[in-house]
Structure 1
Amino acid sequence: MKKLHCPLILGFLILGWESSGQVVKDSVATTSLSEVIVTGTRTERSVATLPLPTHVIRGEVIQKTGLSRLNEIIQEQTGLITVTDFGGGEGIQMQGLDAAYVMILVDGQPLFGRSAGTLDLSRISVNNIDRIEIIKGASSCLYGSEALAGVINIITKKPRVTDRIHGNFNYKIARFDTHDLGTSLAYGKEKIAIEIFGNYFKTQGYNLSSSDFSKTVEPYSNFTLQPKIKMTLTNRLQLNANMRVFQQSQINRTEVSSERYSGESKIKELNGTLALNHSVNQQLKMVYEFYTTNYVAEEHLKSAQNELFDASTFDQWFYRPEVRLHYTLKAHTISAGLGLNYETLERTYFDQQAQLQSEYAFGQLEWFPHKKWNILAGFRFDHPHQYQTQWSPKLAVNYQWSANYSLKASVGYGFKAPDLRQLYFNFTNSAVGYTVLGYNVAEAQLTELQNQGQLLFTNGFTFTQPLRPESSINFNWGGYYKSKKVTVDYNAFFNTIRDLIDTKAVAQKTNGQNVFSYFNIDKIITYGAELTTTYSHKKELSFTLGYQYLIAKDVQVMDRIRRGEVYARDPETLASFALQSSDYFGLFNRSKHTANVKVNYSFPFMKTTVVARLLYRSKFGLYDTNNNAILDRYDVFVKGYCTANLTFNHDLNAAMTLQWGGVNVFDYKDPSNLPNLAGRQLFARITYQF
């Protein structure tokens, strides 16, 4: 620790010789009652009147942390945990639900590219973010599939009319030969405004294993380009055009049976939105919008003799035209919309291009029957062509007790449609010999395997009924309080998830291996409570404490334990015994307790701010170590741990800011269980505004 603290303290003392009367803004508090949010209702609403569990992270807060990627800032928020998938990407766990159930939006449009089931948050730069809006709880009423657990909307900075070119430049250098370069340029005059953002990120990766050939994270580089144009056509017509281009290249290396293979992994992503906003009159506004995105991932491995060992491709297109209207009177606002989703995917292990198509309609009423009461009611109807029709209702109520205090409750339905992998996958592992089949192709492929003499027997499963979407009913009860010095935000939640899609063995092959397919099998529940409270002392000091308590369990497992059907083995006597209900810990990779502490302290006379964050996660289990297919207290757990991030911000002058600090300054590592914790990473950044 001395090596870390000495240069930081020395730099702090040197800066202490400078003086200024400037007061640095609070960079810990993230939400205020007057803040406007759009994600929860798709209309502009203040947090005080929004009857949903909501959290807002302002852009200036993100900048004060000195962090670079979205996954880094998200994991510092109460009740949100970043988890890695089999492909190494980091997704977000919300209210105990997997990352596959959280919808990620950029400027209100969904991101795609869940090649391994999780959307990798590390591919999103935070350098041009205006704010991040987080809505917890089922949000399919507005956003459809994948919003079963909630929505995270990354809202980037908008073009604005000015009389000159303005922008910023920032450069960050960090451990592992990491470089992060970002810049933005903006210009606006009269009826047109343009902004262009660019980011380049490069790192040599890191290695937590003993291998001298492949690393835990291999070297990679990426860049992001995001142009935006806003045009005022008439007093009532405004045209917005947004585009985002992302490309990444990473070294790909592995060892199989002492043989070494190397290659490259590439990602290309393109997002484009064209929206026409029409103010028909003071009460009625129309939005005509078209969104398209393309995500391509390619990778290959070659032997030392340059012979191809493995190659895969993933090419996904998505198109969505949508029309929305918002009609406002004194006491209520009515929103409605119609749209079409069309998705195609070509990937390795698909026999042909897979397609999904659905039409949808939604409606919403925001009603203020009294100045203290707000009622939000809505529905969405999805008509997919590949699975069952879905109705997604939602009802929420907010009671603003006083100017500083509000109570809120909500109930909603969410769903997640079967993805194209679960419907059309056709994969056989060449080394081991097992097969995984998507539900829609399983019957035909089993018949083909049977005709080829590769099946020993089948397990009698039929595929006559369509695979059902996973569904959720979500309840939230909470409140919000804000005084001059204290802010308290609390929420209790309950989720029941039905028709979880999982794999089952449907046949056995003559080589002794199984054939798997996807079925609706499980039902789980998650419940708990969240609390975030902030105390501010004058303008120099603020202190924030966040805490989540979580229980997440499989209902079928609970029933089996009550019937005495689940056993464990005593590690000392090796005797088997029936488990009790209290022995069942719950779902894998869930912690009962998570917490964060954030301290923001400014030294106005030195133009310096210190932002310290302490993050805690209690024990959790990743594997069934006693072979009874569940996680119980006799399994081996990952121990609870604590990490700390520290950032110093110093304003050199009105245009230039210097940052330095560290991520994971305690240098906590657990290579076997937490490959996303690389150890201590010191960094320095300079930002110039012009």
Structure 2
Amino acid sequence: MGGGSFLKLCLTNLLFINLLTGALNTEKFSGYIFDLESGEPIFNANIYIPSQDIGTTSNKKGKFTLEDIIAFPIQIEVSHIGYKPLTFTLKKISLSNKFFLEKKAVVFDELVVTASRSGQYRSKSPILTEVINRKDIESSGSKNIADLLRLKSGIFVQESIGGGETLKILGMDSKYVLIMIDSQPIHGKFNNRASLDQISTENIEKIEIVKGPSSSLYGSEAMAGVINIITNKKYEKSMSIYTRIDGNLKSLSHSNFNSGNNYLGFDLRQPIKKTALRMSANTSNINKNQSVISSGIDQTKKDVIDLGIKYALSNKVIINLAFKNFLQNSERKSKLNEAFSKIGRKNFILTYQNSQFTHSISSSNYFRKYSQKRPWNVLLESEEKTAEELLEYEMNYQKKISSISISSGIEVSQAKYQSNRIKSNNEKMDIFSLYSQFDSEHSSKLSTTTGLRVDSYSQYKSVISPRLALLYNFTNFFKFRSSWGLGFRAPSFIEKYIDWNHEQYGYTIYGNANLKPESSNGFTISFQYDDSKTYNINTTYYITYFENLIESFTISPGTLSYQNVESAIFEGFEIFSKARFSDIFFAAIRLNWLNNKDGMNRTIPNTIPFSFNTKIQFLPSNDIFSFFANIKVVTPYKPQIYDSKEGIFIESKNKITTYALINMTSNIKWGNSIHFSIGVDNLADYTNVNYGPYIGRKIYFQISSKINDRNLQ
């Protein structure tokens, strides 16, 4: 055969191969997805080929079609909410492709991080952790953390006259509960309390709640517990946008959206080889309505920008850079008085992580400006200016040796405070901390946790915080937990150094530089039954002793200061039960009983002895429609108001009668990326102009669109 003939033969073969490849590229692969038990087709199941990064969903007949198959064999992943995922390898195209998914039982277990700083399954953790997952957040219809938590029994959110909202957890003031975002304490507070209405729920993955002293891992403020708000840090390719409006509902047939609120936001995530980017932003306008009038505000505007970059140096070494900016402007205007406040918060964190060590450098900056004047520009009192700064380095070491998980680390930080309401205008404090925790699985039945932390402050003595916890599995279903720990709270800059004459309300308050840290000694015991399929019940008893509580007191009429005088006992009992009645119907109930007393055996002000909430979920397998309802019932109690001039609580003559807060949400999914939500908050329209809740019946509409990795191809 001559060279020319051989060349022609080669070209012919190459052309044939190319045509064959092209034919394969345009080959359609079709199949059907069915329920294994009923044989019914499954709508909206996800079919995905990871190696070629293509995917689709099934239609109402369960049919799907995949195009542009590059090469066989291929690995296919099939998944749907409520079913066990299916993965298989297809070597060639088949004329008949039928796949069956098996329904999965309700999974009550999930990975938690707050109790140990490392990932640990909740069922195996000796420290009881409550989780509010993403589905719970979406079903609540809440747009900020304050609104979300107020739905739960045992947790009460109160509006502050100075602006913002604070909470009580199990009757304890929120200044004794450490609020964190991604395991980092929130820096910058008003009146020593985090303003939870400033934290949007839009980018929250879940919330973990640990009740009881937790200073052995987290230091100051974790006297009564920890609330860890964990954001969505996934970098899968996606793009989403949402908008929402709400308004006061005067009757079920009429609403007034002119005095309501509106929200707009977007989220974008894009992996690029070893780098991944994420960016989200949201803005909200809260117009003149019941929710802001209760705080003496006519209008509030909030803007949030959240940026993140992740770079993988290798499979085990990752660098993360995150930046978040929050800005809030509020105003109140009348014929004789105008008030303006501006709050800003900037957080920056750089993290270097390998298989055992995590190093992080973080910077937090917070400012608050507040002024009051006459409409003709005459100041009613001097403008308040406050700025806080925290610079921190943390090193965390995690190692698993046999059945023992170790989490140890150091924290070095410097806190600065500037305000025209303190004597020197500027104060700072240096903090050095060491901590270590050992989670040991001694056998299939017994697990323990041992932890210790030492915090050294530049302004007073070191504080030592230990913790012990135990988990014992009597059977596969029945568990016993017990934990003990010490907690503390360092005096704030305001409590130590304030020197301010509140002209508008006619009193002066001075700080006390000799204040000692507040301390707590807490014990919890719980029993849990969990069959992992249909039923879960957990009963918990807790008691926490407080010493050296910092309270304000009256030096003379109209003159206040702070001192360590109070002791208190916070005691309570909680029952939580969750059940699956069918494949689509779920229900949960939580009951809380409180018995909180001060050192004189008097009931702690505004303790609500008994409350409970019930949650109902209807989740059809077609994932098109879902319905959620939450009912919170509060039993009678006598409220008390704090008299700032006298430094005491004044008890109301009349009890607040039993009331219920009822919230309902319906969600509709259209296609693969459009979601509609409609909800009603406070259906019974219960309000109390003196003590709250101040927000009456409210209706909201939300539409969102999310295009994930598979739809962006």
Q: Shorter-chain TM-score category?
A: 0.7 to 0.9
The Cα of 1:192 is off from its aligned counterpart by 1.4
Contact 2:615 2:630 in 1 (8 A): yes
The Cα of 1:604 is off from its aligned counterpart by 4.9
Q: What is the 5 A alignment of 1:206-221? A: 206-207=289-290, 216-221=296-301
The Cα of 1:294 is off from its aligned counterpart by 0.7
Contact 1:39 1:133 in 2 (8 A): yes
Correspondent of 1:333 among 386, 396, 405? 405
Structure 2 partner of 1:38: 113
Q: Is 1:410 matched with 2:473?
A: no
Structure 1 partner of 2:187: 112
| Cα distance, 1:488–1:291 mapped onto 2, change above 3 Å | same
Structure 2 partner of 1:237: 317
Q: What is the CA–CA distance in structure 2 between the aligned matches of 1:639 and 1:368, rounded to whole Å?
A: 48
- Pairwise CA RMSD: 2.6
Q: What is the CA–CA distance in structure 1 between the aligned matches of 2:322 and 2:496, rounded to whole Å?
A: 32
Structure 1 partner of 2:442: 369
Cα deviation, 1:391-430, whole Å, max 9, x if unaligned, reads 0000000112333332110000000110001100001233
| Cα distance, 1:316–1:252 mapped onto 2, change above 3 Å | farther
Cα deviation, 1:471-492, whole Å, max 9, x if unaligned, reads 0011110133222211112211
Structure 1 partner of 2:346: 270
Structure 2 partner of 1:227: 307
Q: Is 1:102 matched with 2:173?
A: no
Structure 2 partner of 1:574: none
Q: Is 1:499 matched with 2:548?
A: yes
Correspondent of 1:658 among 657, 668, 676? 676
The Cα of 1:532 is off from its aligned counterpart by 1.1
Structure 2 partner of 1:516: 560
Contact 1:596 1:613 in 2 (8 A): yes
In structure 2, list runs of 5 or more residues that go unmatched.
1-58, 63-79, 84-104, 248-258, 708-713
3-state SS, counterpart of residue 137 of structure 2: helix
Q: Is 1:202 matched with 2:285?
A: yes
Contact 1:266 1:298 in 2 (8 A): yes
Q: What is the CA–CA distance in structure 1 between the aligned matches of 2:231 and 2:648, rounded to whole Å?
A: 44
Q: What is the CA–CA distance in structure 2 between the aligned matches of 1:422 and 1:547, rounded to whole Å?
A: 35
Contact 1:85 1:116 in 2 (8 A): no
Q: Is 1:476 matched with 2:547?
A: no
Q: Which letter maps to 1:185?
A: L
Contact 2:626 2:668 in 1 (8 A): yes
Cα deviation, 1:486-518, whole Å, max 9, x if unaligned, reads 111221100110001112334x4xxxx453321
Structure 1 partner of 2:578: 534
Correspondent of 1:173 among 245, 253, 257? 245
| Count of aligned pairs between the two proteins | 595
Q: Which letter maps to 2:662?
A: A
| Cα distance, 1:628–1:197 mapped onto 2, change above 3 Å | closer
Contact 2:260 2:289 in 1 (8 A): no
| Cα distance, 1:321–1:624 mapped onto 2, change above 3 Å | closer
Cα deviation, 1:339-388, whole Å, max 9, x if unaligned, reads 11211111121132011221111111111111221110001001111223
Contact 2:414 2:429 in 1 (8 A): yes
3-state SS, counterpart of residue 260 of structure 1: coil
Structure 2 partner of 1:486: 535
3-state SS, counterpart of residue 422 of structure 1: helix
Q: What is the CA–CA distance in structure 1 between the aligned matches of 2:568 and 2:511, rounded to whole Å?
A: 23
| Cα distance, 1:485–1:270 mapped onto 2, change above 3 Å | same
3-state SS, counterpart of residue 535 of structure 1: strand
Correspondent of 1:261 among 329, 332, 337? 337
Q: What is the CA–CA distance in structure 2 between the aligned matches of 1:264 and 1:600, rounded to whole Å?
A: 42
Give the TM-score taking structure 1 as reference length. 0.82
Correspondent of 1:139 among 214, 222, 225? 214
Q: Which moved more, 1:606-615 or 1:363-372?
A: 606-615
Structure 2 partner of 1:420: 493
| Cα distance, 1:85–1:621 mapped onto 2, change above 3 Å | farther
Q: What is the CA–CA distance in structure 2 between the aligned matches of 1:606 and 1:425, rounded to whole Å?
A: 55
3-state SS, counterpart of residue 64 of structure 1: helix
Structure 1 partner of 2:591: 547
Decide which structure has the larger Cα Rg and report it.
2
Q: What is the CA–CA distance in structure 2 between the aligned matches of 1:433 and 1:62, rounded to whole Å?
A: 43
**Percent identity, aligned pairs only?**
23
| Cα distance, 1:672–1:139 mapped onto 2, change above 3 Å | same
Q: What is the CA–CA distance in structure 2 between the aligned matches of 1:480 and 1:182, rounded to whole Å?
A: 40
Correspondent of 1:157 among 232, 242, 257? 232
3-state SS, counterpart of residue 246 of structure 1: strand
3-state SS, counterpart of residue 122 of structure 1: helix
Q: Is 1:647 matched with 2:661?
A: no
Structure 1 partner of 2:391: 319
The Cα of 1:608 is off from its aligned counterpart by 1.3
Structure 2 partner of 1:51: 126
The Cα of 1:549 is off from its aligned counterpart by 0.4
Q: What is the CA–CA distance in structure 2 between the aligned matches of 1:87 and 1:31, rounded to whole Å?
A: 44
| Cα distance, 1:606–1:36 mapped onto 2, change above 3 Å | closer
Q: What is the CA–CA distance in structure 2 between the aligned matches of 1:489 and 1:380, rounded to whole Å?
A: 29
3-state SS, counterpart of residue 350 of structure 1: coil
Contact 2:297 2:330 in 1 (8 A): no
Structure 1 partner of 2:332: 252
3-state SS, counterpart of residue 227 of structure 1: strand
Structure number with higher relative contact order (C-alpha < 8 Å, ≥ 6 residues apart): 1
| Cα distance, 1:215–1:75 mapped onto 2, change above 3 Å | closer
3-state SS, counterpart of residue 442 of structure 2: strand
The Cα of 1:309 is off from its aligned counterpart by 2.1
The Cα of 1:329 is off from its aligned counterpart by 1.0
The Cα of 1:130 is off from its aligned counterpart by 1.0
3-state SS, counterpart of residue 439 of structure 1: coil
Contact 2:590 2:614 in 1 (8 A): yes
Cα deviation, 1:25-79, whole Å, max 9, x if unaligned, reads 69xxx99553000011101100011112211111122112222111111122342
Q: What is the CA–CA distance in structure 1 between the aligned matches of 2:575 and 2:462, rounded to whole Å?
A: 37
Structure 2 partner of 1:287: 358
3-state SS, counterpart of residue 61 of structure 1: helix
Contact 1:31 1:55 in 2 (8 A): no
Q: What is the CA–CA distance in structure 1 between the aligned matches of 2:496 and 2:483, rounded to whole Å?
A: 33
Q: What is the CA–CA distance in structure 1 between the aligned matches of 2:61 and 2:302, rounded to whole Å?
A: 40
Structure 2 partner of 1:612: 629
Q: Is 1:588 matched with 2:605?
A: yes
Q: Which moved more, 1:397-406 or 1:134-143?
A: 397-406
Contact 1:20 1:607 in 2 (8 A): no
